[in-house]
Chains A and B, each alone.
Chain A
Amino acid sequence: MANTNVKEYNPQVSNAKSRLTWLWSEYSVIIAFIIIFIASSIMNPRFLDINNQLNILMQVSIIGIVALGMTVVMLSGGIDLSVGSVLALVGVMTVLALNASGSILIGIFTALVVGSFAGFLNGLMVAKGRIASFIATLGMMAAARSIALYIAEGGSVSGEVKGFTAIANNDLWIFDYPVIIFFAMTALVYILMHKTRFGRYVYALGSNEKAAMLSAIRVDRIKIAVYSLAGLLVSVAAIIETSRLNSISSSSSGVQYELDAIAAVIIGGTRMTGGRGKIIGTLFGVLILGILNNMMNLMNVSPYLQGFVKGLIIIIAVVFQKRE
């Protein structure tokens, strides 16, 4: 994209400058990540501690997995506000299935079915019902939370099956399972988006839906698949969340996860209107948010002010991306 801005001309005068612009527009998140990482290590020596680093990864893994699904939805030109509520609902259903059957496998299976079904419904509303994704998933957000609250009678439910907590609390070498799952999911979604036709179609549909349809793409099916995939990833996140403390709260689990996930996607450079963005960008967006949270804790910033800082970072990120 560097020197071809002006149709076929080849302006050599501004080559160096345009290379720099290109570097920035392609890799601005990574550059921002490196700057923030270096600044953090200078500001607080405890930041670089390996345990602290692993702790950051552990803390971002749940939001990270949710944000992967959110990236795909936003690339398709939509948005999914229901992720937090669906996470709570999946958690509650998982614990119930787990306790009723005594089998971890059935618990996991239930989680995956509930999450992807909620996503499927979102997709159906958006694709076939032609409801704006913001509205459809806002409805799902309210409905899923309400069902979770009703089933759990407003409280928490706890698992009674031994071994379920291992999912989130065991580790392989130095990495906790959730971190490994997050990176594995990132790799899978990356391959899906960049090496398969599904990914190609999502980009096409997010960029120009009518042209995608006129290119003989089954736009409706792709949309339904996109929201189902987001739901599936939410269930993976829900399993980890539930397993971590062996319980899930119908009222407070997953609250505001949609905002954190959207923030990570936006910081990662994905365009709100779809068609443009990268999975790798979201990965670094998630890491940037994680480092910021971590630094604010290390530096004893009041928890009440942490939202302010996060908000500021999101807005700065978007302002810089507009520049290109």
Chain B
Amino acid sequence: MTQNLYITMENVKKSFNGVPVLKNVNLQIEKGEIHALLGENGAGKSTLMNILGGVHQPDSGSIYINEKEVKMTNPRISQEQGISFIHQELNMVSDLKVYENMYLGSELRNKVGFLKVEEMCRQTHEILARLGVDIDPKEYVRNLATSYKQLIEISKALLHKSTVIIMDEPTTSLAEHEVNRLFELMKNLKKSGISIIYISHKLKEIKEVCDRYTVLRDGEMIKSGNVEQEDLDTITKLMVGKSISQNRFVHEHSFGPVMLEVNNLTSLGLFKNIHFKVKKGEIVGFTGLAGDGRTELFESLFGYRKKYTGEIKINDQLIKIDHPRKAVEAGIGLVPKDRKENAIIKDLSVIHNMSLSSIGNFEKSGFIQDNIERDKFQYYKELLNIKVHNPSITIDKLSGGNQQKVIIAKWLEVGADILIFDNPTQGIDVGAKQEIYQQIVALAEQGKSVIILSSEAPEVMRICHTINVMYQGEITARFKGEEATEEEIMHYATGSKREAAKIG
């Protein structure tokens, strides 16, 4: 095994502001392997990779490439050593063309200094063809789907003749079939001798595509080994430090009357003919591939999008929702996806984020009362186990899980009867995920109607009473939570099966 060793990081230590983030970490990457780097948020994965990428300097420790010690003093050196870092947020300039992005910073020029456009296009085309994709090099990047953007990043790495590619959670924004294509690609790259360091939370993917793994926890290297020899539970245990159950969460309890009824909801090009009902105390899931229209459907239901037709009934009363304010007045709350862009106000304090949608509860004769806000936050802090020392700091200083809990507190304070969660556990580590699920189930038990949108079928299977599967803007199947299987859901989500009869 060792004769194949390509990169070795030895005894790497790093601290920020006196807080140790990496304590003596060792990492060994072989030539032509896919190596999973695992750990919860904050375990030190990104820091370790940033050190390899030359972004941060280690306090101590050394890096060897082909048994030669290398000092990665800046990203350029790392790049020259053949290391490419594909970040979770893709570094693409969407207003430039594909080939322009490929050659950004390393444009080919002729003697006079003009760009050699045709040559760049030819080479771009060649590399893309090698990856099995047919994209016009002169297409603008903004017109491409996310998965293609990722391919372009990978092509860029190949263009720079990289021997090691670091991928940070590359599948978060991809649909299932795109993920499969990416995995095929990774396996091909591996055969051509390129090593891949793969950072992900999704253990099933690791099992599918990775050869070896290294687990970090709290800045320490816990274990490294062959993926084949471990089962998923063991790896999860290593990451979290305790075992986490994957069992279904839902306790069966009786539902109340229908709270929300949607008939014939249609919005051109986004979704059509949507029918569903949600009862009091019920958790209803919506799943499907990226671009299936579920987010748009519920943004319309919440009044963020206005161009739709059809009827929405709450408590058997027909209502028209054309602004989120109206939705709130009708008792609907929405915890949106992409927390940073859609949910948190990063310049407001934790408390002010909590009270933002229900300021009326904190006013006396028109003035906001700080003490009422503070007391109320204290209540939610205990209820939801929000970890924060000083709630007057701005919300962006909290971890993802705690931010999400503050947003949930915000909607509880509004007193919404119908709560919509769009991708509620996005970017949240395993432990906090569990707590959020427990909260959601508890809400349903208290009589709230809950709607969960998620692209991860196992997530909706774990907590929902009823599961709707969407494909290209339509509901293609509806299951009882305990009857659904992942395979079955996938069939409907990819459009390979439709069952109009089942959804009536």
Contact = CB atoms under 8 A, between A and B. Distances in A.
Interface residues of A, number: 33
A97 B347 CA distance: 44
Contacts of A197: 359-360, 363, 368
Contacts, number: 103
Nearest to B17: A11
B315 to A, nearest CB: 19
A13 B18 CA distance: 6
Given A13-B17, A13-B18, A214-B334, A8 B324 contact: no
B114 interface: no
Contacts of B414: 216
A12 B17 CA distance: 9
B304 interface: yes
Interface in B309-368: 323-325, 327-328, 334, 336, 341-348, 352, 356-357, 359-360, 363, 366-368
A207 interface: yes
Contacts of B398: 7
Contacts of B343: 211, 214
Contacts of A217: 324-325, 356-357
Contacts of A196: 366-368
Interface stretch (B63-71, B274-282, B382-390): B382-390
Contacts of A191: 367
Nearest to A206: B347
A4 B387 contact: no
A204 B352 CA distance: 9
B391 to A, nearest CB: 11
B17 A14 contact: yes
Contacts of A213: 304, 324
A191 to B, nearest CB: 8
Interface string A191-219: 10001110010011011101111111110
A211 B344 contact: yes
B147 interface: no
A5 B397 contact: yes
B342 A8 contact: no
Contacts of B357: 215-217
Interface in A1-42: 1, 4-14
Contacts of B394: 1
A244 interface: no
A281 interface: no
A285 interface: no
A290 interface: no
A14 to B, nearest CB: 6
A1 B341 CA distance: 22
Contact of A214 (B42, B336, B352, B393): B336
A276 B347 CA distance: 7
A169 to B, nearest CB: 35
B16 A218 contact: no
- Chain B CB count within 10 A is highest, among A6, A216, A276, for A216
B352 A8 contact: no
Contacts of A216: 323-325, 327-328, 357, 414
Contacts of B6: none
B302 interface: yes
A257 to B, nearest CB: 28
Nearest to B18: A13
A275 interface: yes
Contacts of A204: 345, 348, 356
B201 interface: no
B501 interface: no
B112 interface: no
B410 interface: yes
Contact of A7 (B363, B368, B399): B399
Interface in A215-261: 215-218
Contacts of B500: none
Contact of B345 (A1, A12, A211): A211
Contact of A9 (B19, B345, B348): B19
A215 B324 contact: yes
Contacts of B410: 215
A207 B345 CA distance: 6
A274 to B, nearest CB: 9
Given A7-B398, A11-B17, A195-B368, A214 B342 contact: yes
A84 to B, nearest CB: 29
A270 to B, nearest CB: 11
A9 B388 CA distance: 10
A191 B367 CA distance: 9
B342 A211 contact: yes
A268 B17 CA distance: 29
B18 A214 contact: no
19 contacts: A4-B389, A6-B17, A8-B389, A11-B17, A14-B18, A191-B367, A195-B368, A200-B348, A200-B356, A203-B345, A203-B352, A207-B346, A210-B341, A211-B342, A213-B304, A214-B343, A215-B345, A216-B327, A276-B347
Given A210-B342, A216-B325, A217-B324, 8 more contacts: A6-B16, A7-B399, A11-B18, A203-B352, A208-B345, A212-B356, A217-B356, A218-B323
- The 6 A-B residue pairs whose C-beta atoms are closest, nearest first, are A13-B18, A207-B347, A275-B347, A216-B328, A197-B359, A216-B324
